[in-house]
Amino acid sequence: MAKLNGKVAIVTGASRGIGEAIAKLFAAEGAKVVCAARSLNEGDHKLFTGSLNTTVAEIKAAGGTALAVQTDLSREESCVRLVAKTRETFGPVDILVNNAAVSFFAQIKDMTLRQWDTSWAVGPRAIFVLTKEVLPDMIKRCSGAIVNISSSGAIGPGRGPYKDRGPGANSGTKYGAQKAAIERFSQGLAQELYQYGISVTALSPSQLVVTPGTLFFKMAASPNDPRAEPPDMMARATLLLATEPLDKVTGRVTYSQQILQEFGWIKKGQGTGIDRPGSGYSQI
């Protein structure tokens, strides 16, 4: 039996990459999925392929139910409109997956205030706004799941001295700070909402995921990079966190293959959370 029959889910950043994989899997599991991002049509993004309409068309072709809602997550009114449109079309939100992110990989000395503000607005700030919008219905029904997508970038470099660091090193300081903030937010929110039966978790890939973004930033060498895990691994781990009983998952800061292996969804995982430790919040 499908795990999400009758459920309504919002997935941000669903035009490509991890968000696209999550949206497709949720729809295949019976959810009515609202796909949110800025790229409504192919070509809307100047650098990357993928769009909401493409994701939704593929979901519908496979027999699923989905709606594309073009959303600028950096703007509060756009986030509020996303939740209102979801409620109007499908009903109250059961699952919120905060996946979208805007990344500027530059050292702090070279970063502009606009880049900093835009990135934080789409990351932690939008997560706060969307959470606030979906919570009244979740609290009323004493059920719901919020999954916030993090990254191993939240793991800091540790204390110095720092030797053998060439030009361009440490260009993920802002990104890592955002993800660390999301992990702390997730655990604190999980504690707040436990009394209402709502689970809150944070999830990162155990290994690099090949997406249009990681290819563009040369984090992945090719679509078949041997260091990588498929986007479906993150999608399955998100499904697990959204469907397992509250007491088994809420407050977890975890990694895709770690949680899948722990619950027996895969036989043997690798990467962060298994072969090497995760962030400080994942140890709590």
Catalytic residues: 150, 175, 179
Q: Tokens 């499904």 correspond to what residue? A: 239
Residue 15: both structure tokens together: 């035009």
Residue 33 and residue 86: Cα distance in Å, rounded? 9
Residue 12: both structure tokens together: 């941000």
Residue 119: both structure tokens together: 């990135």
Closest CA to 251 of 125, 136, 146: 146
Contact (CB, 8 A) for 197 and 145: no
What does the chain look like in DSSP terms, one character per residue?
A: --TTTT-EEEEETTTSHHHHHHHHHHHHTT-EEEEEES--STTSSSS----HHHHHHHHHHTT-EEEEEE--TTSHHHHHHHHHHHHHHT-S-SEEEE---------GGG--HHHHHHHHIIIIIHHHHHHHHHHHHHHHHT-EEEEEE--GGGS---SS---S--TTTTTTHHHHHHHHHHHHHHHHHHHHHGGGTEEEEEEE-SSEE--HHHHHTTSSSSTT-TTEE-HHHHHHHHHHHHHS-HHHHTT-EEEHHHHHHHTTSSS---SBTTTB---TGGG-
